[in-house]
Homo-oligomer: A and B are copies of this chain.
Amino acid sequence: MQLLTAIRRTPLLWLLVFVPLVLALERLRPEAHTALFVLSILAIVPLAALLSMATESVAAKTGDTIGGLLNATLGNLTELVIALAALGAGEYTLVKASIAGAIVTNSLFMLGGSFLLGGLKYHVQEFNRSTARLQAGLLFLATVALLIPSAISRADATPEALFTEKLSIGLSVLLMLAYALGLVFSLKTHREFFGSAAHAVEEEEPWPIGVAVATLVVVTVLVALVSEVFVASVQDAALALGMTQAFVGFIVVALVGAAAEIASAFSGARKNRLDLSVGIALGSAAQIALFVAPMLVLLSYVVGPAPMSLQLWPGAVTMIVIATLTAALVTTSGRSAWFIGVLVLVVYATLALTLYLLPPPTG
């Protein structure tokens, strides 16, 4: 069976053993917050990898357009499911931190790591400059649109609840419309700019469609279950480990949720296929801004205890702006070397250090 072959071949998937462990522990000792926190992280990583493989397989079977659509929509499924669990528990700071963190992790850690790992093997790496610029442009515009309300109302200091709520809904609709048009653009009218990156990751035989769909469903349910354990334990565990909730959401959740994509991006860089790495990093960050974030705002009316706004705390706005500007600047030249990767990672480390040391934000 393909699934078992995949597990045997990919050491990352051996972590799947933590899935039953964490679910069992949660039954037996629900008060062991720190242990549950660590185990749930270890369990989510292989589930995210499986999810990504299954999505690829379904996409490969359903033809270019629908496949691309699936890839684009389910690519950040792990992030979405974790955030939904946090949304249901009313942990809005965690949700917002994980949205901001996912954008920053994709555009700094994933990109910087790819440049560094690729650069250690190759002297100078070239990648398609105009595609990268197009993608960096999309990412910049996507995050700008996402951040405008926070930036404007921060500046004018008028965070009246009703206005923020109306604005968040209006904006979410605008962003999702832009996302839908973006799919038409990248999958239909201008697919030649994006096509190559989407399918090149998967070099193995795709799974049979039945296995793939079943995996997709079962694993999504498992991610949801583990995420609930994770969200329930995060508050106390963070306290015990001396981390703020913002740090956990921004760094830990974002790294865990993006583990599968990070692996793909890094492996692309080691194969001197930096186009692939840049495409995954920038595309995934843009998807968070245009699709996941507004989706969560709209879902908060159904799932959460109260509506969630798109308003981020000022520090998060600054970090996202820094991250996307850095990504835009660094990809504009179409070439990279290891030290560029180092500097991008230094920016990421600085953000992480700041979040780790600073007292938690309010809101």
Contact = CB atoms under 8 A, between A and B. Distances in A.
A353 interface: yes
- A interface secondary structure, majority: helix
Contacts of A330: 137, 141
B354 A167 contact: yes
A333 interface: yes
A326 B190 contact: no
B163 A347 contact: no
Report copies per complex. Answer: 3
Contacts of A332: 133, 332
Q: Which of A174, A322, A340 has its CB near the most chain B CB atoms (within 10 A)? A: A322
A277 to B, nearest CB: 17
A142 B199 CA distance: 36
A179 to B, nearest CB: 10
A145 interface: yes
A318 interface: yes
B144 A326 contact: yes
A115 B153 CA distance: 29
B133 A163 contact: no
Count class of interface residues, chain A: 35 or more
A118 to B, nearest CB: 14
Contacts of A138: 339, 343
A346 B313 CA distance: 22
A189 B122 CA distance: 11
A337 B153 CA distance: 32
26 contacts: A123-B190, A130-B333, A133-B333, A137-B340, A140-B329, A141-B343, A144-B322, A145-B346, A145-B347, A149-B354, A152-B315, A153-B354, A155-B315, A156-B314, A156-B315, A163-B358, A167-B353, A167-B354, A171-B350, A181-B342, A182-B339, A184-B339, A185-B338, A185-B339, A189-B337, A189-B338
